[in-house]
Structure 1
Amino acid sequence: MPDTPRVETAVTAEIDPADAIRRMRKGAILLDVRDDDERASGMPKQALGISLLALEQDIGALVESRCAELLTICATGRRSLLARDQLLELGYSNVLSVRGGFSRWCEEGLPTEAGTMDADSAERYSRHLLLPEVGVSGQLKLGSARVAMVGAGGLGSPAALYLAAAGVGHLTLIDDDRVERSNLQRQVIHADARVGMAKTASAGITLAGLNPALQLELREERLRAGNVEALLAGHDLIIDGADNFPTRYLLDAASRNLNIPLVYGAVHRFTGQVSVFDPRRDDSPCYRCLFPEPPSAEEAPNCSEAGVLGVLPGIIGLLQCSEAIKLIIGMGRPLVGRLLCFDALNASFRELTLARDPRCPGCSRGEGRVAYEDIEGFCSTI
């Protein structure tokens, strides 16, 4: 009688999502091995999140017993198989991958739970989430940030647009001016149909259309010594989109009194400059280190007399926005102690070192509060 062929029993590597649910009810542990940004919009209910890259280093802290039944799930089922192989090599003896991943899990209507951000945010900021320097944690910092934008004109237009697009949670616009037709050459947040409207209201329409989740606070007021601290208190960051020296000196004083970083920007004809004054840092200069005293009217001709290249405030405003995002997230090297100068005619950048001045009439006064002072204006609207 011939020998009966011996049939090897294949080891099951995958199970269906419904089977995973049944096993979880009996104590199996489901590991969602997608990246943090992928889990931001949601994950299987009661799953533990641990990315494939972090599995070898962090699994021991999540699951101590090598005999525990582990289930791995990813987006479509490919990485979860790799995770299963990796766990087996680490000594976990009972590991299965969920077939079809989270996509199939959702298609079958199985229970899920909200991630760290909703589906709209996960999709809207998906390109940010792909950046390791930003990721979910950085995006959440942007979402919880409160930024004061002083001026809704040439500098404020691009800065506010990209802050809203980037996902800054709360933006306060402060400006007492109204839209004029001559503004539209450079103040791109406004529209011809809104000529005569308050700039804060006009900008609010554009920003709400760009990002409905943005919390907007519109303050149709001019900064004065009597209101500057009340308007700026409670913010994480101040962006200087002002068009005159008196306002900038008020912003500098409030920045130091309230211990809030100030992102400075200014333009003139074909040139512009950007810097960051951060009172939280002992090595940071302040605005008065750059301009100890207000210049005369002859030294600072108003913009309606001197003119300004329309695109220039856009370039400088975007650089201010870039510095703001870096400060909020805590990444990169901010322009503290550095003055970045741009020449549009030569398409060139030049960086100047800006050291803290021990004789500065502002930050050399020690730890005491800085007095607010209304001084005569020198320059009209950017």
Structure 2
Amino acid sequence: MSLTSDRLERFARHIVLPEVGGAGQAALCDAHVVLVGCGGIGSPALQYLAAAGIGRLTLVDDDVIDVSNLQRQTVYTPSDIGKHKAEAAAEWVRRFDVGLKVTTHVERLGNDNAPRILSGANLVLDGCDNFATRLAVSDACVDMGITLTSAAIGRFQGQVANFAGHLPDQPCYRCFVGDAFDAQDCDTCAADGVLGAMVGMVGTFAAMHAMRALLAGHAAFGDPQYGKLHLIDGMAPGMRAIRMAKDPSCSACGNPG
């Protein structure tokens, strides 16, 4: 996407940052990000990715909006209840910035459709709510050489990390959780509860972390921090980071032999 005079004005506060600059903003505008999950994490992440000028967005979600979502899923309003989340989120993007390209997939991502859905992406931001999808996303990113930003939340605890398991010295998401979580069941917000503002904190941090990866090689802010898990505690509050190791026997990115 070319930075015309109106686009230069829109992103001026990015461009004047020496750590981003014109080259960094151009890289963001040329990027294609796939957002898996348009719910609690996906909503604020989408808002800040769109605000950053990510040129092409692909939204993936098979769920529909209900009234309980409005407590934390900030791109939706009561008039959206009953609509598919991906379609309603795409409508928000089109209203927010007509210069962005947005496409939708109203389906759950799995091993069979991941190559089609993720084709051409520079980065995938995964904020979905089950391990089976998360592992399918991770495995596809390893196979296709795509950077993955993974974000998750449970009650007052969040975690965000960038993964590049396709690189020989970097772990993938499966290195982190192992093979035991290839299942649909997992803890849910409906059962355990979740603080809306906490979801926003994790989602916006994930958007910023995705931008770090997208700006690698283009701007000083582009430190992707691959394999570094950021743990966010909303109760304390506080944040700490731990380094993850590549599992040489990982079935996705290692050499299980």
Question: In the alignment, which residue of structure 1 is the partner of 2:174?
Answer: 288
Q: Quick one: distance in 1 between partners of 2:55 and 2:252?
A: 31
Q: Does 1:352 align with 2:238?
A: no
- Give identity over the alignment, percent: 39
State the shift of 1:197 in Å: 0.7
Contact 1:170 1:214 in 2 (8 A): yes
In the TM superposition, what are the counterparts of 1:1-382 in structure 2 within 5 Å?
Answer: 117-295=3-181, 300-330=186-216, 331-365=221-255
State the shift of 1:359 in Å: 2.6
Q: Quick one: distance in 1 between partners of 2:200 and 2:164?
A: 23
State the shift of 1:180 in Å: 0.7
Evaluate the alpha carbon distance shift between residue 296 and residue 326 of structure 1 in structure 2; reply closer, same or farther with a 3 A threshold.
closer
Q: Quick one: distance in 2 between partners of 1:260 and 1:296?
A: 21
Secondary structure of the corresponding residue to residue 196 of structure 2: coil
State the shift of 1:118 in Å: 1.1
Q: TM-score, normalised by structure 2?
A: 0.92
Q: For 1:24-49, what per-residue CA distance to the aligned partner results, in whole angstroms no more than 9, with x for missing partners? A: xxxxxxxxxxxxxxxxxxxxxxxxxx
Q: Structure 2: 5+ residue runs without aligned partners? A: none
Q: Quick one: distance in 1 between partners of 2:182 and 2:169?
A: 29
Question: In the alignment, which residue of structure 2 is the partner of 1:8?
Answer: none
Q: Quick one: distance in 2 between partners of 1:133 and 1:292?
A: 36
Secondary structure of the corresponding residue to residue 364 of structure 1: coil
Q: Quick one: distance in 1 between partners of 2:211 and 2:104?
A: 21
Secondary structure of the corresponding residue to residue 365 of structure 1: coil
Alignment RMSD, CA only? 1.8
Q: For 1:123-175, what per-residue CA distance to the aligned partner results, in whole angstroms no more than 9, with x for missing partners? A: 10011110122211111111111110011101110111111110110000011
Secondary structure of the corresponding residue to residue 305 of structure 1: helix
Q: For 1:286-319, what per-residue CA distance to the aligned partner results, in whole angstroms no more than 9, with x for missing partners? A: 111111023498x943321111111122111111
Q: Quick one: distance in 1 between partners of 2:90 and 2:83?
A: 11
Contact 1:245 1:294 in 2 (8 A): no
State the shift of 1:218 in Å: 1.3
Q: Quick one: distance in 2 between partners of 1:236 and 1:337?
A: 18
Q: TM-score, normalised by structure 1?
A: 0.63
Q: Quick one: distance in 1 between partners of 2:32 and 2:166?
A: 17
Q: Structure 1: 5+ residue runs without aligned partners? A: 1-115, 369-382
Q: Quick one: distance in 1 between partners of 2:75 and 2:154?
A: 20
Secondary structure of the corresponding residue to residue 247 of structure 2: coil
Higher RCO structure (Cα 8 Å, ≥6 apart) = 2
Evaluate the alpha carbon distance shift between residue 247 and residue 217 of structure 1 in structure 2; reply closer, same or farther with a 3 A threshold.
same
Equivalenced residue count is 251
| Structure with bigger gyration radius | 1
Evaluate the alpha carbon distance shift between residue 161 and residue 266 of structure 1 in structure 2; reply closer, same or farther with a 3 A threshold.
same
Secondary structure of the corresponding residue to residue 188 of structure 1: coil
Secondary structure of the corresponding residue to residue 225 of structure 1: coil
Contact 1:283 1:337 in 2 (8 A): no
Q: Quick one: distance in 1 between partners of 2:237 and 2:196?
A: 15
